[in-house]
Structure 1
């Protein structure tokens, strides 16, 4: 079970309460402004939904958290994870791509170091690729009218070594070629996976990738949730035995050894 539900809040043009001074308060103010929000004080709390509290005095911080919580705001209290109703991850920015590294408040330092590792891995062109794909939605629907075909074709293009591999700095320049090329949509297929254990870490790289792109997941009732949750979040899940028609796209059958 995950400790927190990751959400991306759109706060551009909206007021966000920031209570605090010194370096902590300044950092929270910059964070709000970076996302286009408008930092404000407690008197304007009735116009806000989120609040950052960055006070050195623990008693004052707890009192502020209670006051704002009673007014219906979600609060984040610096250095007091037990009082936080939301936490702020370490953010890797490749606008419009945001990669958030969070530890549910366990260790901000760990989240930061993870972000720094990924900073070296993800090219600056990743944002350009995302923007190009966003602009090409109509063209993608025109070329791949069927939703499953569209997802599978895009998955294939974005896969490691694919025409639009996200880690390839030149990928954004090939979006138009991909849309006008002769590649065919990936045909529907069914793949059966015999699991070696109930530990998700024992999945092979190929099995993990297949689960990440599956359209329909048919599984043995004994398969643990930890493995099922490695599948695409919007994939159709059904327990075996399954008597219905197999939908289009990629179907994976998971069985325990």
Structure 2
């Protein structure tokens, strides 16, 4: 269960309200302008311009609460600096490899923790990720022409982008390999079915390989008792269903990767 839904909101040329003075308000203005938004410093003028987001950075609690209530009554989503209870949304710490962005948030629990996680990732994720993203975007037409089926395209990309794949995001030169990959080496992985015998209901007990299988699966068959926390590790758009009564999920497997999740042994009387 997650406490909030991470979203990327396009702000280019759109009005955004930023209320307040001092360092906190200036930081929010810079952030909005960096994303291409148009800052309005007054609530009424921002509402009239069609704003849908409001950042409130007043130092006084009463003033922040009053403006948050007014903005919310006008249908705006509100972020109030250092006041999580007044926030409809929070602002993550952003690792910028444009157009690839990595957002790290804690739901307002600790901005400092989010920042230091970002700093660690800064040292791991290469600047070339942006180049790779742009190259893949430029090749979308060719990929669609070669693989008209969306599920096929996803499997092709999974194979290329996995660790050690031709387009491994952390490997040097992967962005420069996109054109050759599209021309010569993109291929559909044959249908595959793997079974994961769970040792517990804790998703942290999955091995790295099991977690990768689950994250890439097109279809997930599962025993009824498998915990929701484990099922959440699968792609949101992966098809899911209980294992058939005859237990023969392999026969029913679709093309692509099918994962069968069997519950911990204690649920089967072992």
Q: TM-score, normalised by structure 2?
A: 0.92
Matched ranges for 1:1-257 at <5 A: 1-40=1-40, 41-46=42-47, 47-241=50-244, 245-256=252-263, 257=265
Change (3 A) 1:161 1:150: same
**2-side partners of 1:183 and 1:8: how far apart?**
30
How far is the alpha carbon of 1:35 from its aligned partner? 0.5
Contact 1:21–1:54 (Cα < 8 Å) also in 2:
yes
Structure 1 residues 242 and 188: CA distance shift in structure 2, 3 A:
farther
Q: Is the 8 A contact 1:126 1:169 kept in 2?
A: no
Secondary structure class of the residue paired with 2:4:
coil
Deviating above 6 A after TM superposition, structure 1's stretches of 4 or more consecutive aligned residues are: none
C-alpha spacing 1:156/1:242, structure 2 compared with 1 (3 Å): farther
Q: In the TM superposition, what is the alpha-carbon distance from 1:190 to its structure 2 partner?
A: 1.0
Cα deviations by residue, 1:126-169 (Å, 9 ceiling, x for unpaired): 01101111111111122223333321221111011111010123
Query: 1:42 & 1:182 partners in 2: Cα distance?
Result: 55
Q: Distance in 1 between matches of 2:171 and 2:38?
A: 36
| Residues 54 and 181 of structure 1, relative CA distance in 2, 3 Å threshold | same
**TM-superposed deviation, 1:242:** 6.3
Q: Which moved more, 1:160-169 or 1:237-246?
A: 237-246
| Number of residue pairs matched by the alignment | 257
List alignment gaps of at least 5 residues for structure 1. Answer: none
Structure 1, 76-85 or 131-140: larger mean CA deviation = 131-140
Q: Normalised by the size of structure 1, how large is the TM-score? A: 0.96
